């Protein structure tokens, strides 16, 4: 099993990764002025291009990001980044929302409470691994529904009769609480969020990358679910946190 933690600038370090070798990236970059990353900055466009280069055909990049409000206006950085990913060749497979039911937000009194971040799902071609999580109970379990004919891509498809199962796939808005782990990192990534994306867009033995490894949550969940992983982190302080967390993950 490949387990690699790299201390360095992710733009430089990703240039050393073999082309078309990464199955899945799950990351949350520092954005606008919302996060303090020990004073470090990053070249978004350069990193996006490197992500495209290292991602396998059919691979996926999960990009979790939000916007700051500056002088009464949201920056729109998240949308600009999504459009740039498309410009360089990625497909925007899905635009998902991470809703934080327990978030604390004391922003402008002129806006509703901001309780979410975007989770853009980019793919290099058609995703090769799609394992949609089905954990929402259905109200019509066991009911036989009659098939129908429907339009699909300009052609008429026949949908056969089917029996409603116990669970259906969840929506693309995920309710996941923010959890304080008090591990010294300013932007804690919920383990469930990272794990559910890893389960959704990869399979055992795949290689998962996090170029902004932070406290190592993506790496920890990759290890837990029998994926190889590569984590890149520019701060030695956070590298120490990663090593400590992974040492306790079997």
User: For all residues of the chain together, what is the average pLDDT?
Assistant: 86
Q: Is 54 helix (H, G, I), strand (E, B) or coil?
A: helix
User: How much of the chain exceeds pLDDT 70, in percent?
Assistant: 80
Per-residue pLDDT reduced to its tens digit, 149-158: 555 555 545 5
Distances in Å between the Cα of 72 and the Cα atoms of 30, 37, 103, 199 are 21, 24, 21, 38
Sign, CA torsion 186/231/115/66:
positive
Q: Which of 70-74, 167-171, 185-189, 245-249 has the lowest mean pLDDT?
A: 185-189
Which residues make beta-bridge pairs with 169?
134
Sign, CA torsion 127/133/134/137:
negative
Judge contact between 161 and 147, C-beta under 8 A: yes
Per-residue pLDDT reduced to its tens digit, 25-69: 999 998 765 444 555 668 999 999 999 999 999 999 999 998 888
pLDDT band for 199, please (50, 70, 90 cuts): very high
> What's the predicted TM-score (pTM) here?
0.86
Domains identified in the chain and CATH numbers:
3-133+170-247 (3.40.50.150), 137-168 (no CATH)
pLDDT of residue 17: 98
Q: Average pLDDT for residues 80-107, to the nearest whole number?
A: 91
Residue 140 scores a pLDDT above 80: no
Per-residue pLDDT reduced to its tens digit, 106-124: 566 788 888 899 999 999 9
Nearest 5°: the CA angle 152, 168, 179 is 120
């Amino acid at each position: 099993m490949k387990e690699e933690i790299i201390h360095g600038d992710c733009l430089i370090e990703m240039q050393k990764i073999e082309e078309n070798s990464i199955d899945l990236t799950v990351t949350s970059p520092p954005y606008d002025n919302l996060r303090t990353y020990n004073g470090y900055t990053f070249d978004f466009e350069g990193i996006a291009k490197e992500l495209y280069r290292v991602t396998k055909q059919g691979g996926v990049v999960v990009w979790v990001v939000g916007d700051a409000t500056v002088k009464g206006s949201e920056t729109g950085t998240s949308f600009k980044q999504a459009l740039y990913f498309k410009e360089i060749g990625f497909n925007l497979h899905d635009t998902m929302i991470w809703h934080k039911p327990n978030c604390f937000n004391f922003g402008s009194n002129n806006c509703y409470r901001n309780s979410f971040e975007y989770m853009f799902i980019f793919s290099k071609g058609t995703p090769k691994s799609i394992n949609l999580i089905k954990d929402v109970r259905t109200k019509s379990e066991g009911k036989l529904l009659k098939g129908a004919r429907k339009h699909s891509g300009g052609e008429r498809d026949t949908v056969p009769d089917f029996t409603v199962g116990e669970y259906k796939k969840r929506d693309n808005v995920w309710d996941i609480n923010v959890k304080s782990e008090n591990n010294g990192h300013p932007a804690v990534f919920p383990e469930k969020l990272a794990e559910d994306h890893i389960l959704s867009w990869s399979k055992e033995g795949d290689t998962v990358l996090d170029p902004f490894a932070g406290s190592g949550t993506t790496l920890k969940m990759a290890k837990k679910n029998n994926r190889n992983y590569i984590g890149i982190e520019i701060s030695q302080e956070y590298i120490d946190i990663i090593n400590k967390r992974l040492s306790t993950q079997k």
